[in-house]
Amino acid sequence: MSSTKKLVLVGNGMAGLRTIEHILKLAPHAYEITIFGAEPHPNYNRIMLSSVLAGGTSIEDIVINDWNWYEENNIRVYPGDPVVQIDAERKEVVSESGVHASYDELIMATGSSAFILPLPGANKEGVIGFRDIKDCETMMAASQKYRKAAVIGGGLLGLEAARGLLNLGMDVTVIHINGHLMDRNLDLPAGLMLQRELEEQGMKFLLNKHTEEITGKNRVKSLRFTDQTVLETDLVVMAVGIRPQIELARQAGLDVNRGVIVDDYMNTNIPGISAVGECAEHRGIAYGLVAPLYEQGMVLAKRLAGAATEGYEGSVTSTKLKVSGVDVFSAGQFKDSPDTRSIRIQDDVDGVYKKMVIRDGKLIGAVLFGDTTDGASLFSLIKSGEDISGREKEILLGVPSGGSGAGPSVAERMASMPDDEIVCGCNGVTKATIGDAVLNKGCNTLGAIKSCTKASASCGGCKPIIESLLTHYAGDNVGEQVKEGICGCTSYDRDELVAQIKEMGLKSVKEVMNVLGWNEPEGCSKCRPSLNYYLGMIWHTEYEDERVSKFTNERYHANIQKDGTYSVIPRIYGGVTSPAELIKIATIAEKYDVPMVKFTGGQRLDLLGVQKENLPKIWEELDMPSGFGYGKALRTVKTCVGNTFCRFGTQDSIEMGIRLEKKLDKMVAPAKVKLAVSGCPRNCAEATIKDLGVVAIDGAWELHVGGNGGVKVRAAELLCTVKTDAEVEEWTYAYLQYYRENARWNERTAAWIERVGLDHVKTALEDRDVRLALVERLEATLGRTVDPWKEIIEDENLRKNFTPLASAQNAAH
């Protein structure tokens, strides 16, 4: 009989998954693990959502554990399927979709939700919180249709939301109930300096304002305040705090207050049930910052793995403003009181403010604005509780002061820091992890540590302390920081890599990484797929196509969905099908109990809810090419009926669209590519928001390039006007090949055109001999036959020997 116990995690967020990661390290075979998550996403870094909203980071970039991580660790995961019932007596949970899972140990990690003020009108369309990926997507979509946004809450989260909305082009007003911004983290002088800086960036502020009502019929139109003034707005973002999600715990009989009450070992009042993260309340405190939650996760993991632990005793917290282009740091008890003394400097000209709060000779709080270099060392002093008497000015100002001596140096403070202290709060990296990377893995530069441990890879606020630890561990062996390339695994950028591959005749991903001295022998999810693409772009079919360096969706020719099933999209050229083809698709959908068949925006049929094990059989029986609704490749060629049927049509758009799609249907690219052909200037196929759009005019064709219809809409620009169908094909193929050869991996044509300029592309393509050479190179790479069902079977054998990469779950059709 197996001794493996069953562990169920309720919640797929940062605290719960960090706990699981530690359990897997400490006792990898102790538990059979099942995870239920409310969101249809893998575990991601929630504190980086502000960077996603601000436009500096993609959703893919903030994923911590991709879908393959769950599979590789034999974890059964149910994304988008939250637990709705816990039977503590039977030790069983039931999910929203009806999944029953028994457990020996249950971890509650349900997190928290955005607190929505109970105002009249708070349920109107356009009123949201700022808590998850869906909120980000809602704000991005609103910015495309509306102009004015109001953020209620002038704290850290509210200002990050406001900065993101400002970047999206909205007119943003922040409403705050108190007299200065971030009053829970900053004192008045720092708050005023922050307000001035943000006003210069374009933010507007209404302070000491109490919202009374949200007005509008269905969608929000304005905010009315208690002083009867009114602010017109199209979007309201509530950023007034979070509320631990405890209702499920309450129904299960767990003791709750503000959160689920836990002891120092994260036990609840019911044996076998633990709680961790934002939903947990420890010694009367429910933490909302990541560092304390990771500390809790470490304690819980040790207990569940049977390792010794001293328990969790609470945390001193610090705050850093990450995305507003302003350096702000706050830690500990920063407000003055009768039993404290303060030392501060304020420079309004250069925008610098520093303050230390001291009680009984110990540093208990600090505020930094404009220059946060000393934040990490001050935070270390706060946590250590050492006596700084006589050294106050030296610590804050960097000048000697009279007193009892110099006190501990930076090196001494690094040496005395506990090994399990988290030094990178965003990614939960401890001092011991940094030490291991330097001493045992040869990481002797900041870039190498970042690549190996993820420390300083997110907000960057911990960079000074990471550099101090690097010096502490490496001493004179600290290496010279090299520039980062396409990822942390290499210093080569895109152009240098392409040049090296050509010059040395490198023909496989492994060969590139070995010859060019990759820092990580297996590479990562950024470099492996990009290298595989660059090799194909350079050598056409004369290279080793490494399928294990592709994302899961590309390897299975299907999009993974939130419930773990897949979406299958066969190629339907130009959106034109036949009765026989429709019957075949319908028959297969019935045979395999496909839950939904949907027409896509690209004029195709999508079979949704396909089980993974049925993918090879479905593709074989369809006997149709894959529509690549998941890959960095040609997705669709959308057409209108043109002059075939339409009385306004001037050209045969259907025939042109099908010709282009059949020619290009196996074309891979740096990013997804969408085409459209409209039979007249009425543009029913929406050709002017595509990567390449062909629009018929009287006696000629216009080619428009660099369009995008996604979150960031961009109208395409006119590349050229040609008279013949042959010229349409020549310019289309030449343009796409020039894009393939010159764009960066994961760079859409819209971003590429904005970077290099349309005039540059026009100049590059004006010589017909150059165009024909580009067409020839494109044709050389399009000869590969793709049989999805054969590739999936082959992949099942190959992937056992490699580390697969993350699913491109958010790839749109």
Report which of 383, 357, 352 is spatially closest to residue 368, judged by C-alpha positions.
352
- Any idea what the Cα angle at residue 56 is, between residues 52 and 59, rounded to 5°? 35
User: How much is the pLDDT for 419?
Assistant: 79
User: How much is the pLDDT for 87?
Assistant: 97
Residue 789 pLDDT class (50, 70, 90 cuts):
low
User: How much is the pLDDT for 403?
Assistant: 45
Q: What is the pLDDT of residues 581-631, one digit of tens each?
A: 999 999 999 999 999 999 998 899 999 999 988 998 999 999 998 888 888
What is the domain class of 327-407 according to CATH?
alpha beta
Architecture of domain 127-240: 3-Layer(bba) Sandwich (3.50)
Report which of 693, 714, 715 is spatially closest to residue 704, judged by C-alpha positions.
693
Q: What is the pLDDT of residues 241-260, one digit of tens each?
A: 899 999 999 999 999 999 99
Long-range interactions of 480-488: CB distance < 8 A, separation 24+: 480/445, 481/445, 481/446, 481/447, 482/445, 482/447, 484/447, 486/526, 486/527, 486/530, 486/745, 487/451, 487/524, 487/526, 487/527, 488/447, 488/448, 488/450, 488/451, 488/457, 488/519, 488/520, 488/524
User: How much is the pLDDT for 595?
Assistant: 93
Work out whether strand 112-114 and strand 127-129 pair parallel, antiparallel, or are unpaired.
unpaired
Q: Residue 51 pLDDT > 90, yes or no? A: no
Residue 482 pLDDT class (50, 70, 90 cuts):
low
Question: Which of 14-28, 52-66, 586-600, 625-639 is least confident?
Answer: 52-66
User: What mean pLDDT do residues 509-521 have?
Assistant: 87
Instruction: Give Cα separations from 60 to 55, 133, 512, 772 (angstroms).
Output: 13, 11, 24, 37
Question: Which of 533-537, 728-732, 808-812 is least confident?
Answer: 808-812
pTM (predicted TM-score):
0.65
Query: Distance (Å, rounded) from C-alpha 275 to C-alpha 260?
Result: 7
Higher pLDDT, 749 or 458: 749
Report which of 13, 109, 20 is spatially closest to residue 73, judged by C-alpha positions.
20
Range ranked top by mean pLDDT from 555-559, 762-766, 776-780 = 762-766
Q: What is the pLDDT of residues 162-203, one digit of tens each?
A: 988 998 889 999 999 999 999 988 999 999 999 999 998 899
Q: Pinpoint the alpha helices (H) of 572-718.
A: 579-591, 615-622, 642-645, 653-664
Residue 798 pLDDT class (50, 70, 90 cuts):
very low
680 is an annotated ligand-binding site residue: yes
5-112+244-305 and 127-240 share one fold: yes
Residue % of the chain over a pLDDT of 70: 91
User: How much is the pLDDT for 322?
Assistant: 54
Q: Residue 426 pLDDT > 50, yes or no? A: yes
Residue 404 pLDDT class (50, 70, 90 cuts):
very low
Number of other CB atoms surrounding residue 220 within 10 Å: 24
User: How much is the pLDDT for 801?
Assistant: 46
Distance of CA 158 to the CA centre of its chain: 19
Query: Distance (Å, rounded) from C-alpha 441 to C-alpha 365?
Result: 36
Question: Which of 131-145, 377-391, 542-556, 566-580 is least confident?
Answer: 542-556
What single-letter amino acid sits at 134? K
Mean pLDDT rounded to a whole number for the chain: 88
CATH 1.10.10.1100 fits 422-477, yes or no: yes
Query: Distance (Å, rounded) from C-alpha 777 to C-alpha 505?
Result: 17
Reduced to 3 states (helix: H, G, I; strand: E, B; else coil), residue 136 is helix
Architecture of domain 5-112+244-305: 3-Layer(bba) Sandwich (3.50)
640 is an annotated ligand-binding site residue: yes
Report which of 245, 228, 195 is spatially closest to residue 82, judged by C-alpha positions.
245
Q: Residue 762 pLDDT > 60, yes or no? A: yes
Q: Pinpoint the alpha helices (H) of 624-711.
A: 642-645, 653-664
Q: What is the pLDDT of residues 256-309, one digit of tens each?
A: 999 999 999 999 999 999 999 999 999 999 998 888 999 999 999 999 999 999
What single-letter amino acid sits at 84? V
User: How much is the pLDDT for 274?
Assistant: 98
CATH 3.30.413.10 fits 631-785, yes or no: yes
Residue 2 pLDDT class (50, 70, 90 cuts):
low
User: How much is the pLDDT for 59?
Assistant: 81
Residue extents of the structural domains in the chain: 5-112+244-305, 127-240, 327-407, 422-477, 494-549, 631-785
Q: Residue 810 pLDDT > 50, yes or no? A: no
136 is an annotated ligand-binding site residue: no
Residue 483 pLDDT class (50, 70, 90 cuts):
low
Token pair 């006696």 is at which residue? 699
Could you tell me how many residues make up the chain? 813
Q: Residue 761 pLDDT > 50, yes or no? A: yes
User: What mean pLDDT do residues 139-146 have?
Assistant: 92
User: What mean pLDDT do residues 689-711 have?
Assistant: 93
Q: Would you state the structure tokens that stand for residue 266, as one six-digit string?
A: 């994260």
Token pair 């793709």 is at which residue? 786
Residue 784 pLDDT class (50, 70, 90 cuts):
low
Residue 562 pLDDT class (50, 70, 90 cuts):
low
Residue 102 pLDDT class (50, 70, 90 cuts):
very high
User: How much is the pLDDT for 603?
Assistant: 92
User: How much is the pLDDT for 642?
Assistant: 92
User: How much is the pLDDT for 153?
Assistant: 96
User: How much is the pLDDT for 221?
Assistant: 97
CB 568 within 8 A of CB 558: yes
Query: Distance (Å, rounded) from C-alpha 638 to C-alpha 675?
Result: 6
Residue % of the chain over a pLDDT of 90: 60
Q: Residue 325 pLDDT > 70, yes or no? A: no
User: What mean pLDDT do residues 695-702 have?
Assistant: 94
Reduced to 3 states (helix: H, G, I; strand: E, B; else coil), residue 402 is coil
Per DSSP (E only), the strands in 417-546 are 422-424, 429-430
CB 170 within 8 A of CB 147: yes
Report which of 114, 119, 157, 118 is spatially closest to residue 134, judged by C-alpha positions.
114
Long-range interactions of 645-651: CB distance < 8 A, separation 24+: 646/679, 646/680, 648/679, 648/680, 648/682, 649/679, 649/680, 649/696, 650/679, 650/680, 650/696, 650/697, 650/698, 650/699, 651/679, 651/680, 651/696, 651/701
Indicate the DSSP class of residue 476: G
Higher pLDDT, 89 or 317: 89
User: How much is the pLDDT for 458?
Assistant: 66
User: How much is the pLDDT for 481?
Assistant: 60
